[in-house]
Amino acid sequence: MLHIKGRVLVGPDTGDAAGDVRDELWVVDGRITFERPAGARDIRLVEGWVLPGLVDAHCHVGLDAHGAVDDSTSEKQALTDRDAGALLLRDAGSPADTRWIDDREDLPRIIRAGRHIARTKRYIRNYAHEIEPEDLVAYVAAEARRGDGWVKLVGDWIDRETGDLGACWPRGAVEAAIAEAHRLGARVTAHCFAEESLAPLVEAGIDCIEHATGLTEETIPLFAERGVAIVPTLVNIATFPRLALSGEVRFPRWADHMRRLHARRYETVRAAYDAGIPIYTGTDAGGGLAHGLVGQEVAELVKAGIPARDALSAATWGARSWLGRPGLTEGASADLVVYDADPRADVRVLTTPRRVVLRGRVVG
């Protein structure tokens, strides 16, 4: 049994409004209660500032720069996220079977989007199902059944004929595929860097866009009107200049485009926030990027001009609600992170958790 004492931030209010900030909670049989247990013995006291387990809404457990990895490497990835306080992961595409993680009480909870679905020769080798538009509906249906309520498309990638980013799917194909996913109870998200791929996907009914660096003053109102969320992955977008340098000899138009998208990344995210577009944290860990960076991603959102309270919500209360998972509520699984200082005052404390509690056990 645990007694968590200090300032328990159960909701997004920045003050001490009743119900949003509590002084304590207890963990009994792995679950949260705000009522003091009668006759309790052997209680471990944990003190500090408390948040729900952080959410990395775009990562890839079971994947590295070359494709699927073995279970030992997947375990290390999941443990790295856990120790950083990321206790709920939306795996935005992986060719590896990581279902065995669900049986491990010491590893984060994962919401899977199945395997990426990409156009033939239009994505990173060994990552995705690479198919043509006539097969998109069938593959989306299969991944909707395989995943945990999400399907991941690759919406745009470098087109070698034009030498620049280009949309991967005709409008009719994505409309039919998204409709099929929704019929099966799954939501759809898509990797998108460029501008031109966004409007057709949103108009086709997509639920989320990853990266969304191509948002403009023309498409931002469309996202806001339809309530389409974005996961900006700013710690990944920071790598764009390096990627551009590596490819500029062969694809100079693409390299220039990537640099321009990078240069306006903070402006893009702030404009999306100002328009009321839902924004959630994701790191894109697991490809060429390390796991355990969710705290840095929150700090990047703040750097983009999002208020600290809302940047925190993008990784905690708001993100959990969006993904249909509980936070610090009565009877919920005790998945929480404890800090030495108030994360509302300085989100940088998220990178140094004092204690990590998963399923009611102190694991870090």
The answer on pLDDT for 70 being more than 80 is: yes
Which of helix, strand or coil describes residue 339?
Answer: strand
What local confidence, expressed as pLDDT, does residue 208 receive?
98
Mean pLDDT for 68-97 is 98
Indicate whether 342 and 271 sit together in one domain: no
What local confidence, expressed as pLDDT, does residue 295 receive?
98
CA terminus-to-terminus distance, the chain: 16
Give percent above pLDDT 70 in the chain. 98
Mean pLDDT for 255-276 is 98
- Segment 198-207 long-range contacts (CB within 8 Å, at least 24 positions apart): 198/155, 198/222, 198/223, 200/167, 200/171, 200/174, 201/155, 201/174, 202/226, 202/228, 203/171, 204/171, 204/174, 204/175, 204/178, 205/175, 205/178, 205/179, 206/174, 206/178
Indicate whether 281 and 191 sit together in one domain: yes
We report the CATH number of the domain holding residue 11 as: 2.30.40.10
Model confidence band, residue 39 (pLDDT cutoffs 50, 70, 90): confident
Per-residue pLDDT reduced to its tens digit, 290-308: 999 999 999 999 999 999 9
What local confidence, expressed as pLDDT, does residue 268 receive?
98
Per-residue pLDDT reduced to its tens digit, 322-333: 999 999 999 999
Per-residue pLDDT reduced to its tens digit, 169-216: 999 999 999 999 999 999 999 999 999 999 999 999 999 999 999 999
- Total domains in the chain come to 2
Per-residue pLDDT reduced to its tens digit, 87-107: 999 999 999 999 999 999 999
Model confidence band, residue 2 (pLDDT cutoffs 50, 70, 90): very high
Indicate whether 149 and 265 sit together in one domain: yes
What local confidence, expressed as pLDDT, does residue 348 receive?
96
What local confidence, expressed as pLDDT, does residue 15 receive?
53
Give the whole-angstrom CA distance, residue 164 versus residue 196. 12
Query: Tokens 């999400």 sit at which residue?
Result: 150
Give the whole-angstrom CA distance, residue 102 versus residue 342. 32
What local confidence, expressed as pLDDT, does residue 277 receive?
98
Indicate whether 10 and 107 sit together in one domain: no
Q: What is the mean pLDDT of the chain?
A: 96
- Given a contact cutoff of 8 angstroms between Cβ atoms, the answer to whether 283 and 81 are in contact is no
Indicate whether 74 and 193 sit together in one domain: yes
Mean pLDDT for 143-154 is 97
Q: What angle do CA 69, 74, 78 make, to 5 degrees?
A: 155
Model confidence band, residue 18 (pLDDT cutoffs 50, 70, 90): very low
Model confidence band, residue 19 (pLDDT cutoffs 50, 70, 90): low
Indicate whether 61 and 42 sit together in one domain: no
- Given a contact cutoff of 8 angstroms between Cβ atoms, the answer to whether 233 and 279 are in contact is no
We report the CATH number of the domain holding residue 184 as: 3.20.20.140
Query: Tokens 């949003």 sit at which residue?
Result: 20
Give the whole-angstrom CA distance, residue 265 versus residue 212. 9
The answer on pLDDT for 38 being more than 90 is: no
Q: For 53, left (φ over 0), alpha (ψ -120 to 50), or beta?
A: beta
The domain of 39 spans 1-49+325-361
The answer on pLDDT for 261 being more than 50 is: yes
Indicate whether 255 and 154 sit together in one domain: yes
